[in-house]
Amino acid sequence: MSFLTPRLFSLASLITEGEVVADIGTDHAYLPIYLAKDGKAKKIYATDVALKPLTVAKNNLASFGVADKVETILADGIEWTIPNNIKLDSCIIAGMGSTSILDILKKDNENIYSYIIASNTYLEPIRKWTKEKKYFVEKEIIVEDNKIIYEIIKINKFAGTKIKSKKDILFGPLLVRDEKNKLFLQKWLEEEEKLFKLLQQIPKKDKKYKETLKRKNEISKLLKRRTLINE
Ligand SMILES: C[S@@+](CC[C@H](N)C(=O)[O-])C[C@H]1O[C@@H](n2cnc3c(N)ncnc32)[C@H](O)[C@@H]1O
């Protein structure tokens, strides 16, 4: 479907046959529409905290002829799964910043088996949360969409790769192992350059200078090795 951007398509690719799925903060509902047309998911919920985007979602679902295949819910975050005892195989949270996503994740509960997350900001806070919860990383994807590079993570509560180190938190435990990934390299080269410019604007005495320098050095260390491998 042409409306499905590479980021949304990557999110959809993480859904497996027969799953019960929810798209939290669905807005336009493009992802649920794609999933409904694709027919892989057993049940699809599309939720939003605000009435206006949910109305847009309902209209789009109707226009694409899948209104009967997607249940829309006006709700804040994921708490609605508890009173209704709705079990979700995959809970998608995308298109928000990590602070908003973490706020939603505060209501994490046993009805949700896995999360598929694409943040508009850094994914590090989400990986930190995953580590603290002792959850696992099932899959990580890096994708370019409209000149922005997005990291996507599928967090599984029962099996997968553990997040062990600060390096895992920063780069992603699976992405960091993919040594030939050009997009990964591009993302961190861009970040290194951004931090380099930022360092020139912060006074050296500032606490922020030290933190930024530490982050930049961590990235530079990884990039040095990566550039050699990819030469
Ligand atoms: C930028 S849109 C993202 C749409 C889509 N998920 C995507 O990735 O393209 C963000 C949507 O999340 C909704 N939202 C923000 N906080 C939310 C929350 N706590 N619970 C449910 N929806 C929320 C907003 O109302 C908005 O429609």
3-state secondary structure the chain: CCCCCHHHHHHHCCCCCCCEEEEECCCCCHHHHHHHHHCCCCEEEEEECCHHHHHHHHHHHHHCCCHHHEEEEECCCCHHHCCCCCCECEEEEEEECHHHHHHHHCCCCCCECEEEEEECCCCHHHHHHHHHCCCEEEEEEEEEECCEEEEEEEEECCCCECCCCHHHHHHCCCHHHCCCCHHHHHHHHHHHHHHHHHHCCCCCCCHHHHHHHHHHHHHHHHHHHHHHHHC
Residue nearest to atom 27 of ligand 1 (CA): 27
- What value does the mean pLDDT of the chain take? 95
Give me the number of domains the chain comprises.
2
pLDDT in tens, 91-116: 999 999 999 999 999 999 999 999 99
The angle, 0 to 180 degrees and rounded to 10, between the axes of the packed helices 30-38 and 51-63 is 30
| pLDDT for 231 beyond 70 | no
The residue whose CA has the least distance to atom 8 of ligand 1 is 95
Other residues' Cβ atoms within 10 Å of the Cβ of residue 187: 20
Asked whether residue 144 falls in the same domain as residue 192, the answer is: no
Please write the tens of the pLDDT for every residue from 41-90: 999 999 999 999 999 999 999 999 999 999 999 999 999 999 989 999 99
Q: How far is the CA of 90 from the centre of ligand 1 (A)?
A: 16
Which residues are near ligand 1 (CB < 6 Å)? 24-27, 47-50, 53, 76-77, 94-96, 100, 104
For residue 119, pLDDT over 60 is answered with yes
Q: Which run of H or of E encompasses 51? A: helix 51-63
For residue 88, give the DSSP letter: B
| Distance between Cα 25 and ligand 1 center (Å) | 3
Quickly state the pLDDT bin for 1 (edges 50, 70, 90).
low
Res 196 pLDDT > 70:
yes
Same domain as 216, residue 157: no
Residue 176 lies in a domain: no
pLDDT value, residue 226 = 75
Regarding whether 78 and 32 lie in a shared domain, the answer is: yes
Encode pLDDT of 150-176 as tens digits: 999 999 999 999 999 999 999 999 999
Q: Residue 173 falls within a domain, yes or no?
A: no
**Domain match, 209 and 99 both:** no
Q: Distance, CA 145 to ligand 1 centroid (Å)?
A: 18
Are residues 152 and 190 located together in one domain of the fold?
no
Q: Which CATH number is 141's domain given?
A: 3.40.50.150
Domain range for 99 is: 6-162
Looking at the fold, whether 158 and 188 belong to one and the same domain comes out as no
